[in-house]
Structure 1
Amino acid sequence: MKNLAVSSKSIPVILHPLLNIWQSDDNDNQTNHNISLDHRIGDGKIKYTRLQYGLQVINFDILLSQDIEISIDPIAEDSLQFLYCLNGKCSHIFKNPEEVSFIDQFQTVVVRSHKESNSSIIIKKGLHVVFNLICVNVNEYFNEFKTKENHFGKKFQIFLQCISKKPKYIHLGSYNFKIAEQLKLIVNAEYNNEISKLLSLKGRYYLVLAKHIEQFYADIENNSNTSGLLKDELKRISKVSEFIKKHPEIQHSIQTLCAASGLSPAKLQEGFRFMFDRTVSDYVRNIRLEKAEKLIQTTDLTISEIVYSVGLTSRSYFCKIFKKKYRFSPKEYKSKTTNT
C-alpha cells in the first residue's frame, strides 16, 4: 500500500519504513515532518524532529485499522533507540532468530541494534497508541562523552559498556512516570513562534533522554522504584495530577483527592514526592502559577481575574508566590511580555 506520491528523496532515511502508511506531510524540510496516516491504515499523526546530528525523535499518536510492523533499523552502523509508550502498548521484535518483547504503558525500553539486526516495532489494530522513539547514533552523539574522565563521562562509559556486550540488545526497564510527564508537556505545549518551539522541544527531549539513562542505571542497580508504590498506584497518582492540571480552579484537598483516587493520604503524598519531587500542595500551587503565567501572556484578563480563575482568593499572596517563581511581579511580567 505504498503511497507513490511521496518521494523517498525528500525525507530523512529513518522515515523510509513509514512510506507504506504515509498519506501526507505538511513539512518540506529535513528537520521537522508532521505525517498524516493513510486512512486505509488508520487515523493519527506521526511527528519527526531532528534535534541535532545523531539525535532524532519520532512521536506516534495513532489508532490503526490493521496491524503494522515498523522497521527501526538505524541509518548508522551502531545505534540506540529509547522507546516509551505514553498510551496503549506495543511490542518489539528482533528477527533471525525471532525475539519478541512486549512494551507496556509507561515502561522504559533501550534497544541497541545495527543495520542488519532487523529490529521492528509492532503496533496492533484497534488500540490508541501514543509512542515515543528517540534514535541516537552512538558514534555521533555519545562520542564526546567516551573520553571524559569526570563523573558524568564515566557514567556514560559504563552505560555504553553495558549495552555493547551483544550486537543485539534490549533492556526492558521499569515504569517511569516522570518521562510521561515530560512527554505530556511536549504533546500539549503551545508556542508563540518557531524559535521558542524548537528550543522548548530540544530541552524537553534532552531531559527525556537523560531520564531514560537514569532509569537504566536505577534498574541495573536494583533501585528503580524507591517509593514502594505499585504500578497501579502510580497510575492513579498520574490521573490525579492530570485532573489537577485540567481543573486548577477547584479547591483541591487531600481528602477529596484521596476519595477520587482511592489512595491513602500517606500514599498520595509519597507518590507525588516520587513522581514530581513535590508535596501535593506544592504541586497544586505550581500548576496554578503556570496556568496564571499562561493567562498573563495570552489574555487581557486583569490580575485579579486571573487570581480567581486559578483557584486563589488572595491577590497579595498570589503576587508574592508569582514573583518568587518568575522573579517579576504579575504586573511587571505582563508589561515585559507585552513589550517583547
Structure 2
Amino acid sequence: MENVMNEYQKVPSELNVLHKHLPGTIEVNFDIHTLTVASSYGSGQVRYTSLQNGLQTYDFNLKLNEDLEIPVCSITSDSLQFIYCLDGHCYHQFETFEEVAKIEQFQTAVVHSDSGLSSSIIIKKDHKLVLNMICIDKKQYFDKFGAQDNQFSKKIQSLLVNIESKSKHFHLGNYNLKIAEQLKLLFGVEYSNEVSELLSQKGRYYLILAKHIEQFHAEIENNSNTSGLLKDELKAISQISEYIKENPEIQHSIKTLCLHSGLSPAKLQEGFKFMFERTVSDFVRNVRLEKAEKLIRTTDLTISEIVYSIGLTSRSYFCKIFKRKHLCSPKEYKLKKI
C-alpha cells in the first residue's frame, strides 16, 4: 500500500536532507521512498531505495527550473558513490577545487573523498537528467569481503586500495550500455505483484553494482576502453535496439538496420555483442520470443495469430525456438499460466 509521508521522522534521514534541496512530496511503497518535485521548482522524481545496511541507491529523473547543487556528503557519508548517467548530463565538483567534471550520457563515475572534504553533484536547469547513484558505506559493506578468497573479493580489495590511498578520488569511466540496459529494466517492467517487483528491482541494483565494480577494476588495471566503441556509436546501438523492441514484427536485416542506425555491419555486430552478448539475429529472435511470451500470457490470441504478430511465418519454427527457451510448447505454456 502506498502512503504519503508527511512526518519527517518517518522518512530516511538521507532523503530528508535531499528534501531540503528539492521541495516536494514524499511517498513510500514498501522499502522505496519517492520524492516528487514541487511543480514550482520543476518536474520529476527522486527514488530512494535502501538495499541493506550500508547500501542505498538514488534514481534521479528531473528537469528543474533552476540550477541545483546537491552536497553528496549530506545524503551519504564515508561512502563510495557509483554514478551512472542514463540521459542528459550533470557535473561533479570537490569542495575548494575549481575543476568541474562533466558526466555525460551512458558514462560511469566512481567518487570518494575523506570525511573532511565534501563534493557536489551539479544539475543544470532546463535539461532533463536521468541519473543513478549507488552509495556504499565502506566499513559496513566492504569489510565482509576481506576474509573471502575469490575473484570478486580480490577486485573489491584492489578497488579500495586504489581509492583509499588518496584524500579525494574521482574516476570518470568509459561509456557503458550494459548498465543502461539494466537501468531501463527497472522502469516499466510488468510484475504480478508489488513484492516480486521490489525483489526484482533490488536484485537488478546488485547486478548494476557488480558491473560498475567490474568496469572500474578493468579500467584501473588496464587503462583501456571496455567497449572499443565511441559514444555516438553506443548511442546508435541503444536506439536501434529500442527500435527492434518496439517493432518485432518488421523483417529486420543487417542491411536495413545499418541504414536505420548509420552504422557499418561490423560496428553493428560489435555493439550488439558488447551490449547484449548476442549477435543481431539472436537479439531479434529473443525480442520476438519475449513479445510472444507476453502475448500468450496476457491475451486470448491464438498461437497462429501470435506468430504472425511477431513477424514470423512458420508456426513450427516458432514452436521449436519457443520450446528451446521455455522447455515446453506455447500451448503447454499457456495452460500453465491460466
Which category describes the TM-score, using the shorter chain as reference length? Answer: over 0.9
Aligned to 1:129: 129
Question: 1:223/1:318 Cα in 2 relative to 1: closer, same or farther (>3 Å)?
Answer: farther
Aligned to 2:231: 231
1:25 equivalent to 2:18? Answer: no
Question: 1:333/1:313 Cα in 2 relative to 1: closer, same or farther (>3 Å)?
Answer: same
Matching residue's letter, 1:322: F
Structure 2 counterpart SS, 1:317? helix
Aligned to 2:53: 53
Stretches of structure 2 lacking an aligned partner (at least 5 in a row) = none
After superposition, the C-alpha distances for 1:183-202 in whole angstroms (9 at most, x for unaligned) are: 11112212221121012112
Question: 1:248/1:64 Cα in 2 relative to 1: closer, same or farther (>3 Å)?
Answer: same
Rounded to whole Å, the distance in 1 between the matches of 2:37 and 2:76 is 26
1:66 equivalent to 2:60? Answer: no
1:300 equivalent to 2:306? Answer: no
Matching residue's letter, 1:330: P
Structure 1 counterpart SS, 2:187? helix
- What are the residue-to-residue correspondences of 1:152-301 with 2, within 5 Å? 152-222=152-222, 224-225=224-225, 227-301=227-301
Moved over 4 A (4+): 74-77
Verify the 8 A CA contact 2:32 2:48 in the aligned structure 1: yes
Structure 2 counterpart SS, 1:26? strand
Rounded to whole Å, the distance in 2 between the matches of 1:260 and 1:149 is 48
Rounded to whole Å, the distance in 1 between the matches of 2:316 and 2:49 is 43
Question: 1:107/1:279 Cα in 2 relative to 1: closer, same or farther (>3 Å)?
Answer: same
Rounded to whole Å, the distance in 1 between the matches of 2:29 and 2:225 is 43
Matching residue's letter, 1:70: I
Aligned to 1:38: 38
Deviation of the 1:247 alpha carbon: 1.0
Verify the 8 A CA contact 2:292 2:310 in the aligned structure 1: yes
After superposition, the C-alpha distances for 1:253-277 in whole angstroms (9 at most, x for unaligned) are: 1111011111111111111111111
Aligned to 1:84: 84
Verify the 8 A CA contact 1:74 1:114 in the aligned structure 2: no
Question: 1:103/1:65 Cα in 2 relative to 1: closer, same or farther (>3 Å)?
Answer: same
Question: 1:97/1:228 Cα in 2 relative to 1: closer, same or farther (>3 Å)?
Answer: closer
Aligned to 1:329: 329
Question: 1:224/1:336 Cα in 2 relative to 1: closer, same or farther (>3 Å)?
Answer: farther
Structure 2 counterpart SS, 1:14? helix
Deviation of the 1:223 alpha carbon: 5.7
Aligned residues: 333
Deviation of the 1:116 alpha carbon: 3.8
Verify the 8 A CA contact 1:73 1:114 in the aligned structure 2: no
Matching residue's letter, 1:23: G
219-228 or 127-136, larger mean C-alpha shift: 219-228
137-146 or 16-25, larger mean C-alpha shift: 16-25
Matching residue's letter, 2:16: H
Deviation of the 1:76 alpha carbon: 6.2
Question: 1:114/1:331 Cα in 2 relative to 1: closer, same or farther (>3 Å)?
Answer: farther
Deviation of the 1:284 alpha carbon: 0.5
Rounded to whole Å, the distance in 2 between the matches of 1:337 and 1:114 is 53
Question: 1:114/1:324 Cα in 2 relative to 1: closer, same or farther (>3 Å)?
Answer: farther
Question: 1:291/1:75 Cα in 2 relative to 1: closer, same or farther (>3 Å)?
Answer: same
Structure 2 counterpart SS, 1:82? strand
Q: Please give the TM-score of this superposition, normalised by the length of structure 1.
A: 0.92
Question: 1:326/1:225 Cα in 2 relative to 1: closer, same or farther (>3 Å)?
Answer: farther
Rounded to whole Å, the distance in 1 between the matches of 2:291 and 2:29 is 34
Deviation of the 1:167 alpha carbon: 3.0
Matching residue's letter, 1:16: N
122-131 or 322-331, larger mean C-alpha shift: 322-331
Deviation of the 1:320 alpha carbon: 1.3
Verify the 8 A CA contact 2:61 2:128 in the aligned structure 1: yes
Verify the 8 A CA contact 1:14 1:72 in the aligned structure 2: no
Deviation of the 1:130 alpha carbon: 0.6
Stretches of structure 1 lacking an aligned partner (at least 5 in a row) = none
Q: Please give the TM-score of this superposition, normalised by the length of structure 2.
A: 0.93
Deviation of the 1:51 alpha carbon: 1.4
Structure 1 counterpart SS, 2:28? coil
Aligned to 2:147: 147
Verify the 8 A CA contact 2:155 2:213 in the aligned structure 1: no
Verify the 8 A CA contact 1:215 1:224 in the aligned structure 2: no
Matching residue's letter, 2:47: K
Rounded to whole Å, the distance in 1 between the matches of 2:61 and 2:161 is 33
Question: 1:51/1:226 Cα in 2 relative to 1: closer, same or farther (>3 Å)?
Answer: closer
Deviation of the 1:115 alpha carbon: 4.5
Question: 1:15/1:226 Cα in 2 relative to 1: closer, same or farther (>3 Å)?
Answer: closer
Structure 1 counterpart SS, 2:34? strand
Deviation of the 1:8 alpha carbon: 2.8
Rounded to whole Å, the distance in 2 between the matches of 1:152 and 1:166 is 23
